[in-house]
């Protein structure tokens, strides 16, 4: 379980760190806001990256998710693992819902969402589900 917890935490810390760079206005890795919007936002008509507050909030949520597997056993940890499983699971299946596709049609986001973002979220959900099941046992 420790290896799984470590892997989940590392992935989430890296993704959270990327969101921190965006909160600071650094458009990494593409350096061009227009290209970033099309690659990571994807919503119809979007021309600007989300502001510092939304990016920072996502970073904070991801950092909490990275820390959650390490919390001491108890109902708070178990509830958090369940919520992380649900949250990442829902985000993971969204690329295949027509309503989400209508909301986020920009390329290359739509392709990246189905190829990378959705599957990554499903993998994170699976990891949290394993930890949740273990916490219930």
Q: Is the Cα torsion angle 9, 126, 42, 44 positive or negative in sign?
A: negative
What pTM was estimated for this model as a whole?
0.94
The pLDDT tens digits of the residues spanning 25-54 come to 999 999 899 999 999 999 999 999 999 999
CA 105 to chain centre: 19
Tell me the per-residue pLDDT of 63-95, one tens digit each, with 9 for 90 and over. Answer: 999 999 999 999 999 999 999 999 999 999 999
């Amino acid at each position: 379980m420790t290896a799984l917890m470590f892997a989940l935490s590392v992935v989430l810390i890296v993704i959270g760190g990327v969101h921190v760079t965006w909160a600071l206005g650094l458009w990494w890795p593409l350096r061009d806001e227009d290209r970033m919007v099309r690659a990571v936002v994807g919503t119809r008509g979007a021309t600007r990256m989300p502001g510092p507050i939304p990016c920072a909030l996502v970073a904070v949520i991801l950092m909490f998710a990275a820390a959650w597997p390490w919390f001491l056993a108890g109902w708070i940890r178990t509830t958090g693992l369940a919520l992380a499983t649900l949250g990442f699971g829902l985000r993971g299946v969204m690329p295949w819902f027509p309503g989400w596709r209508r909301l986020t049609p920009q390329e290359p986001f739509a392709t990246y969402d189905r190829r990378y973002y959705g599957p990554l979220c499903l993998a994170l959900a699976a990891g949290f589900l394993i930890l949740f099941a273990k916490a219930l046992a």
